[in-house]
Amino acid sequence: MLHFPVLLEESVEFLISDLDGSYIDCTYGRGGHSQKILSKLSNKASLTSFDKDPEACNDAKNISNKNFSIKNNSFSSLKSYFSANSVDGILYDLGTCSTHLEDASRGFSFMHDGPLDMRFNNKQGSPLSKWINSASYDDILNILYKYGDEKHGKLITKAIIDMRMKTELLSTSQLANLIEDCYPEKRKKLHPATKSFQAFRIFINDELKEIKDSLEQASSIVKKGGRIVVISFHSLEDNLVKNFFKPKKIGFPKDIPINTIENKEFECIAKKIRPTKNEIEENPRSRSAIMRVFEKL
């Protein structure tokens, strides 16, 4: 199973400002970005990669560079490893690793039959099947709306509740077929289960909170002049990133004749960079990627 790192050349080019610097790859995946970064850095530099997936960390053992280390931990734990103003660049590739989607046993894909799991770290927490078989109607509906923007959330939620009365939902094919059967639009470019599977995956891994927590830590540990590069794959991620880096406004009481002041910590030096036509043809999953680059002032 192959994994194609998205916007590889562009992201690494923006990331590295000092060949002797300290860098972080927040999502190792299968090491595409990490290996590219290492190929550019000097022996004096360092790269630390993070991944919650034990399989990814096992793959990282193939990298023999002495200036490289891998942490089997969430990127929301950056401050446990780095102090303030100590890192030159941080890269986030927020996409789901292709190996997760192709490996039926991980339970991420509606295209392959497997256990209904969806955890990035399948050694911790509970699989989606445990939650979806006990969650209330309102909780399921809220997840579909909040994280999937699924307009047919009510139909899907009702179908899930009805199915549960007959048998447990334990496999990806059960859930995918259930959604496909109840979905009003039968002929669409996207599989009817696409948004629902996205919503459940985001929920079970608490993805948006982890991204926000990590960005808060990243903004502290990156040096002045250092860069944070983020590759997002859907609007929830991209909007979170954009809003996080917006200048913070400092307001004053109405009786004080001073205009609102903006506290600008980062400059956006590249926004909405997308894959080339050639990259999309080679890797169709890259088509939704958007990269933004922020430099600390």
Per-position DSSP letters for 203-227, written without gaps between them: HHTTHHHHHHHHHHHHHHHEEEEEE
Residue 168 domain boundaries: 121-204
Pick from 158, 184, 163, 185: which is nearest to 174 by CA?
163
- Of the three residues 150, 179, 204, the one that is the final residue of a domain is 204
Token digits for 193?
């289960």
Map residue 3 onto helix, strand or coil.
coil
Looking at the fold, whether 80 and 149 belong to one and the same domain comes out as: no
Cβ(264)–Cβ(247) below 8 Å: yes
Looking at the fold, whether 199 and 228 belong to one and the same domain comes out as: no
**What is the mean predicted confidence (pLDDT) over 159-175?**
97
CA distances, 240 to each of 82, 91, 292 (Å): 23, 16, 12
Looking at the fold, whether 145 and 212 belong to one and the same domain comes out as: no
Determine how many CB atoms are found less than 10 A away from the CB of residue 152.
17
pLDDT at 294: 98
- Which of the 8 DSSP states describes residue 171? B
Residue type (1 letter), 170: L
pTM score, whole prediction: 0.90
Question: What's the CATH code of the domain at 213?
Answer: 3.40.50.150
pLDDT at 284: 87
**What is the mean predicted confidence (pLDDT) over 221-249?**
95
Looking at the fold, whether 72 and 214 belong to one and the same domain comes out as: yes
Cα gap 39→16, rounded to integer Å: 11
Query: pLDDT class for 132, splitting at 50, 70, 90?
Result: very high
- 2 pLDDT more than 90: no
- 188 pLDDT more than 90: no
**What is the mean predicted confidence (pLDDT) over 156-165?**
97
Looking at the fold, whether 162 and 286 belong to one and the same domain comes out as: no
pLDDT at 256: 66
Residue type (1 letter), 23: Y
Token digits for 88?
């030159």
- 194 pLDDT more than 80: yes
pLDDT at 260: 67
Cα gap 177→180, rounded to integer Å: 5
Q: How many domains does the chain have?
A: 2
The phi and psi torsions of 226 (rounded to 5 degrees) equal: -75, 165
- Which of the 8 DSSP states describes residue 65? -
pLDDT at 185: 84
Cβ(129)–Cβ(119) below 8 Å: no
At 78-112, the pLDDT tens digits run 999 999 999 999 999 998 877 777 788 898 999 88
Q: Assess if residue 91 is contained within a domain.
A: yes
- 187 pLDDT more than 70: no
- Of the three residues 155, 175, 204, the one that is the final residue of a domain is 204
Pick from 68, 20, 32: which is nearest to 48 by CA?
68
